[in-house]
């Protein structure tokens, strides 16, 4: 696992052994960031269910101004902090050990890191079966759409297994789908107007 492009190019990342964090492959990550293109530059990023931080660190390398990593697993969080330290990105990051199902998504003492402009949302696949109105995962996506959490033009990328069925809050409108390997990457933006 490595950073593919930008100022931290070729830096290797520590990863959790096994499938605890399902790290995204370098190939899929490269395709994702080529698709995002200039969208990444000058953004405030949230990497939720971050694992060891591969997506958020790639975004920083390609021009994002800050990244808040949210990860509950202790081992993954430790490796995440090591990755941030090894590339020298402490000043532009926050490694927040928190439960995303309960989080406010408003980290303390980093006012310049919010609201988020780009959100990577990568919950464990088994949780997506419960992504429907009334569930904790659904309500967490509702909180992500609050104006003091995400910016008006915020983009959210949801990673899911191929052809998974779920229901996102109406505040998030899907506008594209990238299918690679056994996964789907759903591209969403904040819905504007009364339907939001």
Name the H helices within the chain. Answer: 26-36, 54-61, 74-87, 136-144
The band of 173, judged by pLDDT with boundaries at 50, 70 and 90, is: very high
d(C-alpha 3, C-alpha 160), whole Å: 22
Does the pLDDT at position 50 exceed 80?
Answer: yes
Residue 133 neighbours by CB distance under 10 Å:
11
Does the pLDDT at position 15 exceed 90?
Answer: no
Does the pLDDT at position 105 exceed 70?
Answer: yes
- The predicted-structure confidence for 160-169, as pLDDT tens digits, reads as follows 999 999 999 9
Q: Is 118 helix (H, G, I), strand (E, B) or coil?
A: strand
Does the pLDDT at position 194 exceed 80?
Answer: no
Does the pLDDT at position 18 exceed 80?
Answer: no
d(C-alpha 124, C-alpha 121), whole Å: 10
């Amino acid at each position: 696992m490595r950073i593919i492009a930008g100022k931290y190019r070729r830096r290797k990342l520590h990863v959790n052994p096994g499938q605890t964090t399902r790290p995204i492959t370098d190939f899929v990550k490269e395709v994702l960031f080529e698709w995002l293109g200039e969208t990444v530059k000058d953004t405030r990023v949230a990497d939720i269910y971050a694992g060891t931080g591969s997506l958020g660190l790639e975004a920083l390398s390609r021009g994002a101004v800050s990244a808040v990593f949210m990860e509950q697993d202790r081992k993954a969080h430790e490796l995440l902090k090591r990755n941030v330290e090894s590339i020298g990105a402490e000043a532009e990051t926050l490694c927040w050990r928190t439960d995303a199902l309960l989080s406010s998504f408003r980290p303390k003492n980093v006012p310049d890191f919010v609201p988020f402009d780009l959100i990577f949302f990568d919950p464990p696949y088994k949780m997506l079966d419960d992504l429907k109105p009334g569930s904790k995962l659904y309500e967490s996506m509702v909180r992500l759409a609050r104006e003091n959490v995400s910016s008006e033009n915020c983009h959210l990328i949801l990673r899911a297994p191929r052809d998974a069925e779920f229901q996102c809050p109406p505040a998030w409108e899907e506008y594209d789908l990238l299918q690679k390997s056994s996964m789907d990457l759903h591209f969403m933006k904040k819905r504007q107007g009364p339907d939001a």
